[in-house]
């Protein structure tokens, strides 16, 4: 039931989403200091393009080249891993199999492996990961037009602070059978002192509490309880999907390469002052699991070209982190 703000590139109109083919190559950007500004290096390009154009000091170019080689190594390892998966593992097996599913592929429903072909839709702004997840779910259930989706968003008066209860109301607008489970019926007052919530807390507290108070009267199903991983897997095994609020700081995809931080470009010996926040709310769509390998498949709206995978233990750590209220929105395919 928490708002989310996750960085994502894009300049489209509000509530406009981009669906990119799963085989599209991701862009990798490297940033280096240059003449008092920052220069952007494209690993595949021969010259840098920066916020300040002009000559780049030779030492900065060499530094960027070294990082470019490091990024290239990440790419090569990823390509090798995907090639091995494609050539040696049947489509219905393996952790990376979900990432190779095509729109026309049927869902895989077995006792040990579930992979639902939920479309991947990337968020357009830092705050709309929940809306992107809702769009993924709706496309999976019964596609709706962009106009219909925007109209529904206006109907429930969504703004740039989207909570899980907002997504439940959005599902109700489309007549989608759902069930919202949370540990807190309303807003946890302790979030007032958490940096992630502080900015919108005073304006959002009353609004969100009122949504909870009116939920039953509006046909929004809310339950105060925790959810086990087994219950979630049973839900997925029936072809249904789940929207989960997680702490993005803790969630780690086993298939994605580690990102290169700009602090890696600092001169040798210079101290890095990068700090990770304690909590970064982010919505994901859980679309499968593999009991044999103990992994969870999910669509991350921060990306448009992949299905991510993590361990059950890491998934539980991220979804049960303080700040999430263990929010889970069950969505039913028979809607």
pLDDT in tens, 166-217: 999 999 999 999 999 999 999 998 888 887 887 778 888 999 999 999 999 9
Does residue 101 have a pLDDT over 80? no
Q: How far, in Å, CA of 82 to CA of 98, rounded?
A: 11
- Whether residue 288 is contained in a domain is answered as yes
Q: How far, in Å, CA of 46 to CA of 160, rounded?
A: 39
H or E, element range at 58: helix 58-88
Q: How far, in Å, CA of 86 to CA of 99, rounded?
A: 10
Does residue 20 have a pLDDT over 60? no
Mean pLDDT computed over 151-164: 90
The 10 Å Cβ neighbour count of residue 276 is: 8
Q: Which of 25-34, 48-57, 149-158, 280-289 ranks highest by mean pLDDT?
A: 280-289
Angle between helices 129-141 and 164-173 (to 10 degrees): 30
Instruction: Identify the CATH number of the domain in which residue 236 sits.
Output: 3.90.70.10
- Whether residue 279 is contained in a domain is answered as yes
Mean pLDDT computed over 111-130: 93
100-104, 151-155, 318-322: lowest mean pLDDT where? 100-104
Does residue 71 have a pLDDT over 80? no
- Whether residue 183 is contained in a domain is answered as yes
Q: Are 223 and 326 within 8 A, CB to CB?
A: no
32-41, 97-106, 298-307: lowest mean pLDDT where? 32-41
Q: Which residues does residue 34 pair with via DSSP β-bridges, in sequence order?
A: 37
Q: Are 76 and 257 within 8 A, CB to CB?
A: no
Does residue 15 have a pLDDT over 70? no
- Whether residue 19 is contained in a domain is answered as no
| 42 closest CA partner among 21, 68, 24, 17 | 68
Which has more confidence, 287 or 24?
A: 287
Name the DSSP class of 107: P
Largest CA distance in the chain: 66
Q: How far, in Å, CA of 282 to CA of 310, rounded?
A: 15
Calculate ∠ Cα 279-29-71, nearest 5°.
Answer: 95
- Whether residue 322 is contained in a domain is answered as yes
Residue 60, CA distances (Å) to 39, 43, 107 in order = 9, 14, 49
Supply the Cα-derived Rg of the chain in whole angstroms.
Answer: 21
Which has more confidence, 36 or 182?
A: 182
Percentage with pLDDT > 70 across the chain = 63
Long-range contacts of 261-264 (CB under 8 A, 24+ apart): 262/31, 262/38, 264/67
Range of the domain at 282: 101-331
Q: Are 10 and 122 within 8 A, CB to CB?
A: yes
Mean pLDDT computed over 74-89: 36
Which stretches of 17-166 are assigned E, i.e. beta strand? 30-34, 37-41, 49-50, 108-109, 113-115
Mean pLDDT computed over 233-252: 96
Does residue 8 have a pLDDT over 60? no
Mean pLDDT computed over 109-115: 89
| 200 closest CA partner among 189, 192, 209, 188 | 192
- Whether residue 318 is contained in a domain is answered as yes
Dihedral sign, Cα of residue 152, residue 157, residue 161, residue 164: negative
Tell me, what's the pLDDT at 111?
80
Q: How far, in Å, CA of 220 to CA of 253, rounded?
A: 32
16-20, 225-229, 264-268: lowest mean pLDDT where? 16-20
Residue 203, CA distances (Å) to 1, 130, 154, 193, 200 in order = 15, 19, 18, 14, 6
Tell me, what's the pLDDT at 151?
93
Percentage with pLDDT > 90 across the chain = 50
Mean pLDDT computed over 265-287: 73
- Whether residue 11 is contained in a domain is answered as no
How many domains does the chain contain in total? 1
pLDDT interval class at 236 (50, 70, 90):
very high
pLDDT interval class at 218 (50, 70, 90):
very high
Does residue 92 have a pLDDT over 90? no
Does residue 154 have a pLDDT over 70? yes
Tell me, what's the pLDDT at 58?
42
Does residue 116 have a pLDDT over 90? yes
């Amino acid at each position: 039931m928490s708002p989310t703000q996750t960085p994502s590139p894009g300049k489209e109109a509000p509530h406009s989403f981009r669906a990119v083919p799963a085989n599209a190559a991701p862009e990798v950007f490297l940033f280096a200091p240059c003449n008092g500004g920052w220069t952007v290096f494209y690993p595949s390009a021969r010259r840098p393009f920066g916020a300040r154009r002009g000559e780049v000091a030779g030492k900065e170019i060499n530094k960027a080249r070294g990082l470019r080689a490091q990024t290239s190594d990440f790419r090569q390892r990823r390509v090798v891993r995907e090639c091995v998966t494609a050539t040696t593992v049947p489509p219905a097996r393996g952790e990376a199999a979900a990432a190779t599913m095509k729109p026309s592929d049927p869902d895989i429903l077995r006792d040990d492996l579930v992979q639902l072909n939920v479309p991947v839709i990337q968020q357009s702004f830092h705050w709309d990961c929940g809306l992107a997840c809702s769009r993924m779910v709706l496309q999976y259930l019964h596609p709706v037009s962009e106009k219909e989706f925007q109209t529904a968003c206006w109907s429930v008066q969504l703004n740039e602070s989207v909570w899980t209860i907002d997504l439940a109301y959005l599902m109700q607008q489309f007549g989608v059978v759902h069930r919202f489970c949370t540990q807190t019926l309303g807003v946890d007052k302790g979030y007032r002192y958490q940096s992630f919530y502080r900015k919108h807390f005073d304006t959002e507290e009353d609004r969100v509490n009122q949504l909870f108070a009116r939920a039953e009267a509006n046909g929004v199903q809310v339950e105060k309880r925790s959810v086990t991983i087994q219950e979630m897997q049973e839900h997925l095994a029936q072809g249904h999907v789940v929207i989960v609020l997680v702490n993005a700081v803790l969630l780690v995809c086993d298939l994605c390469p580690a990102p290169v931080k700009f602090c890696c470009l600092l001169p040798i010996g210079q101290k890095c002052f990068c700090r990770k926040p304690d909590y970064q709310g982010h919505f994901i769509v859980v679309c499968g699991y593999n009991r044999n390998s103990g992994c969870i498949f999910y669509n991350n709206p921060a990306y448009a070209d992949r299905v991510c995978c993590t361990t059950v233990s890491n998934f539980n750590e991220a979804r049960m982190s303080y700040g999430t209220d263990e929010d889970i929105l069950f969505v039913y395919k028979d809607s």
